[in-house]
Amino acid sequence: MQERFSEAIADQSKLMATLAQQLLIVELIIPGLYASILKLVSGNEQVVLSWPLGLAFICWLAAVIFTITAIIPQQYKAVQRNSPDSIEGFFDQSARYKQNWLLASVTAFAMGIFFTIMDLLS
What are the residue ranges of helices labelled H in 43-81? 51-71
**Residue 63, C-beta contacts closer than 8 angstroms, at least 6 positions apart:** 27, 105, 106, 108, 109, 112
pLDDT in 10s for each residue of the chain, 122 residues: 666 766 777 677 788 888 999 999 999 999 989 888 887 777 777 767 789 989 999 999 999 999 999 998 877 777 677 777 777 777 778 888 899 999 999 999 999 999 999 988 88
What whole-number distance in Å separates Cα of residue 98 and Cα of residue 95?
A: 5
pTM over cut 0.95: no
**Residue 112, C-beta contacts closer than 8 angstroms, at least 6 positions apart:** 31, 55, 56, 57, 58, 59, 60, 63
